[in-house]
Amino acid sequence: MKGPLHGIVVVDLTHVLAGPYASMSLGDLGARVIKVERPGIGDDTRAFPPFREETSAYFMTINRGKESIALDLKSADDRAIFEKLLARADVLLENYRPGVMDRLGYGWESLHERYPRLIYGAVSGFGRTGPDSLRPAYDMVVQARGGVMSITGEVGGEPVRVGASIGDIVAGIFLCEGIVAALYARERTGEGALVDVAMLDSQFAILEHAIAITNETGVPPGPMGARHPSITPFESFHASDGMFIIAAGNDALYAKLCHAIGRPKLISDPRFLTNQLRCDNHELLKREIERITLGETVGYWVDLLVEAGVPSSPIHTVRQAMSDPQLRARKMHVEVASESGKPFAGAGNPIKMSINPDSSYAPKAPHLDEHRAQILEWLDAG
């Protein structure tokens, strides 16, 4: 079986994470991804730890299944090769600061005129427009400026970066979404399109409850630990041997929770009759629940609550998540091929489709310039 994007050729100039995450996702859906890298250096993440025999595990997992060719876009010979690639490509991805590609002669307007079917995907810190479009950015910068850090961390504590690089990854997801939409539009119009995704925009776009709360109350929310600001009880609770999650998202689930822990009187307690009252009195309710939960283990409560139909979970380490049977069953733990024989571990494709092959194994990431000969042969054959 070939994926839904089989036959689509992506020329990928991006490096580090946001762009490579998007091209990885397009590759997982069947596209051919040709990674164009700087001669002698390649993608910055080739130098990111952890290493196995001088090979970056970080690079290997994000760039699995791609091809690599090293080109200097200021060299006449390499520019000729690059332009042959553009003539055969469906998608070009780049994550330079706005203006860099124009100075190289490969800006959107120029390429659209020469290759009208080419889809141009650009991801940058602040996008191609606006007063700060030329500023550099990294994940932490956009998490901070976009508001995400202000609501992350413990109550009363300092703002904290989200542990995963969501500034890059969310932008990569939106870029992939935009590319797929542009491919669909091209089927109707025959025209390529510019897809302009900003990391900052992407962070602001995921502040669903925080924007609503700020707009309606005039008071921006601060860090709340694990607690949801609009639903109670919906946070972490202590057991005798650790912490776990209870997510009772409505009145019916709250009633099931109260029955399951042997406190049915909490259902009719006037302090907790509605979700709004439970939010207003969340500290009181947490104390009432933890009087019970501290008496048994995490495993005991999670099993009991799940059996009662109440969403609940232990708080897994990454190691525990990597061996989670549900994630394993969904083929979300993939072994990325390695020349040493011992595979690298990566996350699988979360988009499950009847028309896309799904496997627990992924092809290896390329060495720098590994596929030059076969790419040149393919270009000459075309």
6 is annotated as an active-site residue: no
What's the rounded Cα separation, in Å, for the pair 200 and 141? 8
CA–centroid distance for 350 within its chain: 10
Q: Which residues of 95-107 are buried (b: 16+ CB within 10 A; e: fewer)?
A: bbbbebbeebebb
Nearest CA among 82, 42, 78 for reference residue 60: 42
Strands 9-12 and 32-37: parallel
Q: Could you write out the three-class secondary structure of 269-309?
A: CCCCCCHHHHHHCHHHHHHHHHHHHCCCCHHHHHHHHHHCC
Whether 221 and 159 have beta carbons less than 8 Å apart is answered as: no
Helix (H, G, I), strand (E, B) or coil at 120: strand
**Active-site residue among 6, 15, 112, 228?**
228
Q: Which two tokens stand for residue 286?
A: 């947490």
In which element (H, E) is residue 302 found?
helix 298-307
Q: Which two tokens stand for residue 24?
A: 């990885």
Name the one residue in this structure whose structure tokens are 């859906």: 29
What's the rounded Cα separation, in Å, for the pair 306 and 299? 11
Helix spans in 127-222 (H): 139-145, 166-189, 199-205, 208-217
- The angle, 0 to 180 degrees and rounded to 10, between the axes of the packed helices 76-88 and 372-381 is 60
Residues assigned a catalytic role: 228
